[in-house]
Amino acid sequence: MEPQPDDASSTRPGNCTRRWPPQSSKRRAPARRPAARTGSPSPAAWGDLPWDALELFWSDERVVPRDHADSNYRMVRETLLATDPVAEDRIHPMVASDDLDEADLEDVAASYERVLRDATGGEAPALDAVLLGLGPDGHIASLFPGAGAVGRSDRLVVAVRDSPKPPPRRLTLTSAFIKRSAAVHLIVIGASKADAVLETLEGPHDPDRWPAQRLVPVHGTLTWWLDAAAASTLRGRARDEA
């Protein structure tokens, strides 16, 4: 855990990091750099990203119109893309409408999976970077504790019909796909997330209850960015490294 200055007003992601494994894996930079973004209220200032090469996907989405207040697409449009535009043909929203029945939701998940495979490697797809938040209940993307989607490893994208957090219908990347990324960043801010951070990092191994425990990197790195409040309950090695 690497300490950084504690500034509650900072819009940059976090005050300390925890990386696994210690050294980043090296990959040749592709012409396009596919990345997935969650819709949780994480910081919007990401420094000098290669905007002209960025290809943007979503880690999860609520089944609502794109201009709805609950839309992750809308949030990213109004924050990340407000001042740092990405070419339209490199922006890949998950959901375009809330007018979807049960069959449509499965079709949209399958369609988005095809888009991801085409953009990231076909038979061995992987993203360059994934940015995620962590909910107070421990959920990541739309992978909620105890839900059937948490353990899915046969798909890149799955439909969620009964999210405990409204709206109930969603799409989400699976943890099996996320952990194949070159770099996964978990950005956690606020005391309301502190218990979930503690249980995920230092509690018993229970990945159905704490979905982020499934994010053991296949080839890349996992980095936790925590502010002082989110890290406040850590103890043991994680606390010593902070």
CATH number at residue 222: 3.40.50.1360
Residue 203: partners with Cβ closer than 8 Å, 6 or more residues away: 210
Q: Of 57, 41, 65, whose CA–CA distance to 169 is shortest?
A: 65
Contact status, residue 172 vs residue 140, Cβ threshold 8 Å = no
How far is Cα 166 from Cα 107, in angstroms, rounded to an integer?
A: 21
Does the predicted model carry a pTM greater than 0.75? yes
How many domains does the chain contain in total?
Answer: 1
pLDDT of residue 2: 37
Please, which pLDDT band fits residue 80 given cuts at 50, 70 and 90? confident
Please, which pLDDT band fits residue 124 given cuts at 50, 70 and 90? confident
Peptide bond before 21: cis, by omega within 30 degrees of 0? Answer: yes
Range of the domain at 235: 2-241
Mean pLDDT value across residues 192-217: 97
How many C-beta neighbours within 10 Å does residue 196 have? 23
What would the DSSP string read from start to end of 106-164?
A: HHHHHHHHHHHHHHHTTTS---SEEEE---TT--BTTB-TT-GGGG--S-SEEEES--S
pLDDT of residue 32: 53
Q: Of 43, 39, 37, whose CA–CA distance to 9 is shortest?
A: 43
> Is residue 177 classed as helix, strand or coil in its secondary structure?
helix
How far the first Cα of the chain sits from its last, in Å, is 5
Contact status, residue 193 vs residue 235, Cβ threshold 8 Å = no
pLDDT of residue 21: 39
pLDDT of residue 6: 41
Mean pLDDT value across residues 159-168: 94
Please, which pLDDT band fits residue 50 given cuts at 50, 70 and 90? confident
Percent of the chain's residues with pLDDT above 90:
58
